[in-house]
Amino acid sequence: MKILLLQPTGSNWLAGGKDVSATANRMAPLGLLSMAACLQQRGHEVGVYDGLGPFAAKTIAAQVAEILSIQPDLLGVSATTSAFLDGYEIAETVKRKRPGVQIVFGGVHVSAIGAPLLERFAAIDCLCMGEGERTVCDLADGLAPARINGLIYRENGRMVQNPPCEPIARLDDLPFPLYQKLAGFPHHYHLPLFSYTRRPGATMVTSRGCPYQCSYCDRSVFKNKYRYHSAEYVYAHMRYLRQRFGVRHINFYDDLFTVQRRRIFALCDMLQAKPLGIQFNCAVRVGHADARLLAALKRAGCLQVSVGIETGDADMMATHKPGVGLQGARRAVADIQAAGLRVKGLFMMGLPGESVASIQKTSDFVMSLNLDDMNMSKFTPFHGAPVWPRVHREGRFTEDWRKMNCLNFVYLPADIDSVETLDRLYNAHVKRFYSDKRWRRKFMRRLWPHRWSLWRLARHWADFACAMRGFDNAAHDKKKIHA
């Protein structure tokens, strides 16, 4: 069977603004590449169309034309919430022009909502729920729909939902993602600016699932059971990226990279004993990275560690990120920097219960940490997150899927008077952080190591300048958010 897996372009920037997200950070669609590898292993002819890729057509009509030229028998679409409607528009047009093609949708948005999507969107033949490798392979192999776990489909005008597919217990059985199916990989797939000193870069995910219950996090695909690749598999995967594609920096995007300490120590030992010439970034959860572990990461080539902190308000922290406290977060940041690693704080603005006062606390807390970098996302409710019922009881929520990308405020907490106020406070905070003299001194000391990011910034300066102007209107609000 000829199969094409699609990542739709979607909406990845501020409403009404120019999308510069792919210019600043273009990630390989690892989920699709994993499924592609499994399908190829089963003997199928498979391609990957990355709508966010460097050579993808710019319009939906042109993308449809390229997809039709491949003449797939099965079109698999993996979509985030903000990309779902683009994906459906493509699928609907392909179906109309090539009626025999089978259309299957999967991904976190599909796994969170399920059967109602099949009722609303007629061009979709079936839905792949949860972890997709086995379900899509069974579908491609021609198994009867009734025998395929994890599938939702139509039969005689009614919806049939099969039992869920059992999670893959041994992740090491999976082949490496099929990176070679991406046009322009790795040189046209860029890590976030100023997060690396070597190039080219790539991304990896070495575990699935999370047992924690952060209010805002959708666990619809990988659920709560934590599974992980062995240290030997991760090292072999890194070596493959280095030898096959020349990769010199890897961003690990695991939610819980350091939770299984034994495998991290084993991986670090391998990277020390047989260096690959690769630096890497990873994320840690507060409470899962002590001085000994951080020292091992440093010796193995780690450059930067991200910490999910989310808020500087203790009550908000207790509600939305149970098990993490402000003092624990402060200690984690200090320990990471003491190990000689850079630390990036991850925060979120606009959660239920947020107020002008809590935003002020968060901004003050951020500034007190002396971070090397910071990311503040705009809270976006997702269907599978524990907080989902609460957003309908408190505040105001505009469920516009195209804007639900953590870059637009679609939810207004009850104690904030307007979205405009949220945007002003957000912009003022971002401007405050990057205007801080301590951060600027750090940045200036790293200009030469960051020469590749500076070169990219200069090459695309017009695009970045357009994005930066969105923060200029925060200048008059700067005093409001300063302590």
pLDDT computed for residue 11 by the predictor: 81
pLDDT computed for residue 469 by the predictor: 65
Boundaries of domain holding 104: 2-161
Nearest Cα to Cα of residue 90 among 9, 190, 183: 9
Residues 341 and 383 in one domain: yes
Strand partners, 104: 76, 126
Residues 232 and 318 in one domain: yes
Residues 463 and 336 in one domain: yes
Pair of tokens at residue 85: 């409607």
Residue 193 predicted with pLDDT over 50? yes
Residues 84 and 201 in one domain: no
pLDDT band at residue 74 under the 50/70/90 scheme: very high
Q: What average pLDDT does this structure show over 107-117?
A: 95
pLDDT band at residue 71 under the 50/70/90 scheme: very high
The answer to whether residue 167 sits within a structural domain is no
Residue 421 predicted with pLDDT over 90? yes
Look up the CATH number of the domain holding residue 123.
3.40.50.280
The answer to whether residue 173 sits within a structural domain is no
Residue 104 predicted with pLDDT over 80? yes
Residues 153 and 204 in one domain: no
378-403 pLDDT, tens per residue? 999 999 999 999 999 999 999 999 99
Residues 211 and 326 in one domain: yes
Q: What average pLDDT does this structure show over 104-120?
A: 96
Residues 337 and 222 in one domain: yes
CB-neighbour burial class of residue 221 (10 A; exposed 0-12, middle 13-18, buried 19+): buried
Residue 475 predicted with pLDDT over 60? no
CB 410 within 8 A of CB 397: yes
| Last residue within a domain, chosen from 140, 161, 182 | 161
CB 298 within 8 A of CB 335: no
Question: Cβ neighbours of residue 289 under 8 Å, at least 6 residues apart?
Answer: 258, 305, 332, 335, 336
Residue 44 predicted with pLDDT over 60? yes
pLDDT band at residue 220 under the 50/70/90 scheme: confident
The answer to whether residue 169 sits within a structural domain is no
Residues 414 and 365 in one domain: yes
Counting the structural domains of the chain, the total is: 2
Starting at the edge strand found earlier in the chain, the sheet holding 302-310 runs 201-204, 249-252, 279-284, 302-310, 342-349, 373-378
The answer to whether residue 181 sits within a structural domain is no
Residue 481 predicted with pLDDT over 80? no
Instruction: Work out whether the CA dihedral 91, 95, 101, 104 comes out positive or negative.
Output: positive
Look up the CATH number of the domain holding residue 257.
3.80.30.20
317-342 pLDDT, tens per residue? 999 999 999 999 999 999 999 999 99
Residues 41 and 143 in one domain: yes
The answer to whether residue 196 sits within a structural domain is yes
pLDDT computed for residue 89 by the predictor: 98
pLDDT band at residue 483 under the 50/70/90 scheme: very low
**SS (HEC) of 115-154:** HHHHHHCCCCCEEECCCCHHHHHHHHCCCCHHHCCCEEEE
Average pLDDT, the chain: 93
CB-neighbour burial class of residue 227 (10 A; exposed 0-12, middle 13-18, buried 19+): middle
Strand partners, 281: 251, 304
- DSSP secondary structure code for residue 244 in this structure: H
Residues 150 and 219 in one domain: no
459-to-43, 196, 440, 464 alpha-carbon distances in Å: 42, 17, 22, 10
The answer to whether residue 177 sits within a structural domain is no
The answer to whether residue 54 sits within a structural domain is yes
Measure the N-to-C terminal CA separation of the chain; round to a whole number of Å.
62
CA atoms within 13 Å, Cβ hemisphere of 31: 20
The answer to whether residue 446 sits within a structural domain is yes
Residues 108 and 225 in one domain: no
State pTM to two decimals: 0.93
pLDDT computed for residue 470 by the predictor: 56
Residue 414 identity (one-letter amino acid): A
Residues 319 and 465 in one domain: yes
| Last residue within a domain, chosen from 161, 182, 202 | 161
pLDDT computed for residue 474 by the predictor: 41
Residue 223 predicted with pLDDT over 90? no
CB 237 within 8 A of CB 266: no
